[in-house]
Amino acid sequence: MTSPVPSRPARRAAARRGRAVLPWGGPDPQAARRAAVRSALAPLLAAHRAAFPAGDPRELCRAYDVAERMHRGQLRKSGAPYVTHPLAVAMILAGLGMDTTTLVAALLHDTVEDTPYTLGEVRADFGEEVAVLVDGVTKLDGERWGERREAETFRKIVLAAAADLRVLVIKLADRLHNLRTLDHVPEHKRRRYATASLELLVPFAERLGIHALKREMDDLAFAHRDPAAHAATAAAMRQALLGADAVFGPALRLLRGSLAEHRLDAEVSVRPRHLYAVHQDYAGDVAGLRPCQAARVLIVVDGGEQDCYVALGAVHAALHPCPGRVRDYIALPKFNLYQALHTRVISPDGDPLDVIIQSRAMRPVAEHGIVAHIRAAGADTAGTVAGRRDLVWLSRLLAWQSDATSAAFLDGLRIDLAGGNIAVFTPAGDVVALPHGATALDFAYALGTETGAHSIGALINGRLAPLSAELRSGYVVEILTDPEGSPTPDWLQVATTAPARVHIQSWLSGRQTEEAAALGRHRLARLLADHDLDLLTAEAHGTSLSIARDLGFTEIDDMYAAIATGSLPLDALLPRFISP
């Protein structure tokens, strides 16, 4: 007995309820599948629609459908279906307001690495732009790269970011979700993963100015790397913030009154600090943490940059300022284009309070960094780092990475990303960002490889100083050079930045190779002379190069260097010159 054919309104109603049927009464697998995809994607589609009201959800649905099919049967360590991970990564990015292409790539970001789905299929199904993003975040094959896999994967990500910064943003969202779900991983692996996150990924979030991700990544990695210290800091913060109203209340009233007197419309609030920052600032000694150490005052001004300076005057009129504690990041933004005025004042009760002043236009950049710029100007701005003042650090990283071995690259990357930065000036007024502890030699290499290689000294604030002199923010530095100058081995004890160290090591290695080649050539020439043969004649006729190529050397000097090191015995080489 056949079932009656449902009416069209009945079929539509069933589809809305997720129970699509065919005209003859049977279930419609494709319609049911589409309904299931829509249901799973509902939160993502809603978040994306909030940032892109006119966005087309069909590409997201297609991408999720592929990801779900490809990852079907794969489970996370928690036991959850694997597709929940790329979906969560896409949700994080949607919360940042990233574009459709980025979300599609996020949904597919593990397919090439963990499923039979190939990069060629990504390109054919979703286009070149998505393929570039997916390829950028795909780890290299462990069997092929072995111990070099981690270093070369990071090198690949950095190179991909030069083409499209969204690669780094996806990688950060991927790491954040992995940190959120790290409880299901064995403890020793958690600690290692958390440490790598703090050393490599969190600094990338800082460099890109994406503090909305950085703060959570900081605290999650801190919790997994040092659970006891994290718990102690969290407890100290909770206790300190219980007294926040009593400490901050009188100060906020005075600040609001002074801002009103200066005819400024501004929002004044208390902003708790994140745990890892507190732990770092007080070196883990958080016993007796005070409210003024656990939070800061944030003033968001309705107006432009000039109004921020007026607000600074209003703050200092209301509360006594601490000398030397004003930091102007509006006139001189941080390397990630963060802008604000920072000051420290004394509360009515005598507590030192840190105050941050920003305009409303500065807030998106303060929270989302490069993402705010990508959102404001469209995805095309993700293309290249060239000329971006906020990405000079990435341009420098790209400049030295090609000369570094895998181990040197990873170590250099950790050093280059570690800690804060100082702003040092050239005599022309250009700003050079360097890590804390950088020397005049590091500054010289930051200006260029040739400047660094030929540097012989420096003028710091007009006074002669050695290349080993440590620099401070605000210093004006001029590098003195000599065309005959060159690196020496002791420079490796002076240089602290990765670009300087890599270039110095490269130069020294090249010099050693030249010296070895000269020594090997001398030995070979002497041996040939004993047999009435002339090496110059053999070189002029191409005999030396031919023999070198036959032995697998690209250049003659490589063969000569092998003679010097003993890896190519002269006795084995002589017959080739006697009977070429």
Please give the distance of CA 433 from its chain centroid, rounded to a whole number: 16
Q: Is 403 exposed, middle or buried (0-12, 13-18, 19+ CB in 10 A)?
A: middle
In the chain, what is the straight-line distance between the N-terminal and C-terminal CA atoms, in Å?
94
d(C-alpha 413, C-alpha 421), whole Å = 15
Token pair belonging to 26: 């049977």
Amino acid 465 reads A
User: Partners of 459 in the beta sheet?
Assistant: 464, 478
Question: CA dihedral in degrees (536, 538, 544, 545; nearest 10)?
Answer: 90
Instruction: Give the up-direction half-sphere exposure of residue 11: CA atoms within 13 A in the CB hemisphere.
Output: 14
| Beta-carbon contacts of residue 491 (< 8 Å; ≥ 6 apart) | 441, 467, 500, 504
Going from the C-alpha of 542 to that of each of 50, 246, 522, the distances in angstroms are 71, 88, 18
Residue 454 has what DSSP assignment?
T
- Among 59, 114, 150, 478, which one carries the catalytic annotation? 114
Catalytic residue among 56, 113, 349, 514: 113
CA 250 – CA 347 distance, rounded (Å): 8
Phi, psi (degrees; rounded to nearest 5) at 334: -70, 170
> 3-state SS of 342-361?
EEEEECCCCCEEEEEEEEHH
Amino acid at 238: R
Locate all alpha helices (DSSP H) within 243-302, ordered by sequence: 244-261, 275-281, 291-294
CA atoms of 258 and 320, how far apart (whole Å)? 13
Cβ proximity of 568 and 562 under 8 Å: yes
In degrees and rounded to multiples of 5, residue 232 shows phi and psi of: -65, -40
114 is catalytic: yes
**Catalytically active residues, by annotation:** 113-114
